[in-house]
Amino acid sequence: MVSVVRRYYAYRATLTNGFYLPVSVIYMEAQGLGLAEIGFVQGVFLFGMVAGELPTGYLADYLGRRRTLALGNAVTATVMAGFVFASSTEAFTGLFLLWAVAWTLRSGTSDAWLYELLAENDLDDEFARLSGRAESVLLVISAGAALAAGFLYTADPALPFVANAVTAGLGLPILFTLPPTGGTTDDEPTMTVLRAVSLLREQFTRPSIGWLIVYAALFNVVFSVTRVFEQPALREVGVPVAGLGVVYAGFKLVSAAATGAAGAVQDRLGTRGVMLSLIPIFGVLYASFAVVPLLLVPAVFARRAVSQLVRPVRNEYFNDRLENVGRATVLSGVSMALSLASGTANVLGGRVAEGIGPVTFLAVTGVAVSAVAGVLWLLTSPVRDDPATATPASVGRTEGSSGATDP
């Protein structure tokens, strides 16, 4: 088991986009794209993810976890290699659409594989800890790649993209050393389109799942708009452009530490405590820099840490309430719902931020979301003790599965 988990960590390391991220915008500018075109193609990526989540989650249940993850890595490698040859808005739009597909092929599926592996060995309560460590590995590798990206770009603008393509390709041989999960050989289809639609309707209307999706979507709005508008907000409070690189390197390290601590925090606070703590944390943090603007700097670091810490805890909660058959479909549906909320907030929030300023916009958003989330928590109790086998209409029974073993 230890060897398998280490290989999983190695696979997760190949998912880094660290070579790409620090130089992506300046590379597209060098190819003749203006900021409007760059914003458009990145918007295509976001909504492409929303459109692709459900079909690729279905595909993961149909093809099997490993094959789907391998397809995601192969498409990512192709996209990164394609950046070397792209020189028009149309070409970059096509690449970002393909990358959205690759992203959704992996979202939910890698978590589903890890959870099922642990469940088969009666270690499902270790999911948050091991998932957090895997994310820490990815973030540390990404930090190192980001530091190298500038030097590679200076030598040749194509090199960061070649490096990212090679890294994604390295994930393919690692994946096929990992065992299949979910009680199948990864060769037998287990999902149909009609079952997928029925499954999502059934699971999303369960109070223990549906209300937490709504609650999580509220804070995903805060996470997303902060990420989009933090650069102009940081400049507004006096952080120089040259200092942004140092800030973003710090983000990676803080995020790595937070994800590694996810299991310990969950052990101490419990899932309910972790999710409930979001209300006072973000209410206080975002109100603070409305009064003292420089407090935005620790707030954006805290935002990174909290979002990375919460993700594995939230995913374990959903996994505990799903059967193996259809797990990736439901997790992708959850991701789609969260991405849709974030994308809508980004589109609508842009004009508001221009009107009142990014610092004020972020402060108002954080406080307002915390207040709404507090009311939702009191009215609905989003976190409930409702494991998969405790529900009369479980996924396995809906699909006639007899091999589901998740508690």
pLDDT at 363 over 60: yes
pLDDT value for 401 = 30
pLDDT tens for each residue of 77-122: 999 999 999 999 899 999 989 998 898 888 767 877 888 888 888 8
pLDDT at 404 over 60: no
pLDDT value for 341 = 84
pLDDT at 389 over 50: no
The count of residues in the chain is 407
Token readout for 39 is 């914003």
Looking at per-residue pLDDT, the higher value among 153 and 167 belongs to 167
Under 8 Å between Cβ of 332 and 60: yes
Comparing CA positions, the residue from 20, 150, 12, 175 lying closest to residue 96 is 20
pLDDT at 186 over 60: no
Enumerate residues 6+ apart whose C-beta is below 8 A from 265. 274, 309, 313
pLDDT value for 80 = 95
Looking at per-residue pLDDT, the higher value among 341 and 74 belongs to 74
Under 8 Å between Cβ of 190 and 323: no
pLDDT value for 399 = 30
pLDDT tens for each residue of 291-340: 999 999 999 899 988 988 888 888 888 888 876 656 767 877 887 788 78
Under 8 Å between Cβ of 60 and 184: no
pLDDT value for 122 = 81
| 187: confidence class by pLDDT, cuts 50, 70, 90 | very low
Does the global pTM surpass 0.75?
A: no
Under 8 Å between Cβ of 105 and 215: no
Enumerate residues 6+ apart whose C-beta is below 8 A from 267. none
Taking the domains of the chain in order of start, what are their residue ranges? Answer: 2-399
> Which CATH code of 3.40.50.300, 1.20.1250.20, 3.40.50.2300, 3.40.50.12370 fits the domain covering 2-399?
1.20.1250.20
Max mean pLDDT among 137-146, 187-196, 209-218 falls in: 209-218
Cα–Cα dist 167/176, whole Å: 16
- Segment 174-183 shows an average pLDDT of 79
In terms of C-beta density within 10 A (0-12 exposed, 13-18 middle, 19 or more buried), how is residue 393 classed?
A: exposed
| 191: confidence class by pLDDT, cuts 50, 70, 90 | low
| 185: confidence class by pLDDT, cuts 50, 70, 90 | very low
Measure the N-to-C terminal CA separation of the chain; round to a whole number of Å. 20
CA angle (318 as vertex; 50, 207 as ends), nearest 5: 95
pLDDT tens for each residue of 200-227: 788 888 888 889 999 999 999 898 888 7
Q: What is the signed CA dihedral for 143, 149, 152, 157, rounded to 10 degrees?
A: 160
In terms of C-beta density within 10 A (0-12 exposed, 13-18 middle, 19 or more buried), how is residue 155 classed?
A: exposed
Comparing CA positions, the residue from 131, 127, 128 lying closest to residue 118 is 127
Comparing CA positions, the residue from 51, 112, 67, 94 lying closest to residue 325 is 112
Looking at per-residue pLDDT, the higher value among 16 and 258 belongs to 16
CA-CA distances (angstroms) from residue 175 to 73, 172, 226? Answer: 10, 5, 34
Cα–Cα dist 336/368, whole Å: 23
Comparing CA positions, the residue from 366, 365, 342, 213 lying closest to residue 280 is 366
pLDDT at 131 over 50: yes
Token readout for 238 is 């006096």
pLDDT at 245 over 80: no
pLDDT value for 49 = 81
3-state secondary structure string across the chain: CHHHHHHHHHHHHCCCCCCCHHHHHHHHHHCCCCHHHHHHHHHHHHHHHHHHHHHHHHHHHHHCHHHHHHHHHHHHHHHHHHHCCCCCHHHHHHHHHHHHHHHHHHCCHHHHHHHHHHHHCCCHHHHHHHHHHHHHHHHHHHHHHHHHHHHHHHHCCCHHHHHHHHHHHHHHHHHCCCCCCCCCCCCCCCCCHHHHHHHHHHHHCCHHHHHHHHHHHHHHHHHHHHHHHHHHHHHHCCCCHHHHHHHHHHHHHHHHHHHHCHHHHHHHHHHHHHHHCHHHHHHHHHHHHHHCHHHHHHHHHHHHHHHHHHHHHHHHHHHHCCCCCCHHHHHHHHHHHHHHHHHHHHHHHHHHHHHHCHHHHHHHHHHHHHHHHHHHHHHHCCCCCCCHHHCCCCHHHHHCCCCCCCC
- Segment 121-132 shows an average pLDDT of 80
pLDDT tens for each residue of 21-74: 767 766 887 898 765 676 677 667 877 887 876 677 677 777 788 888 999 999
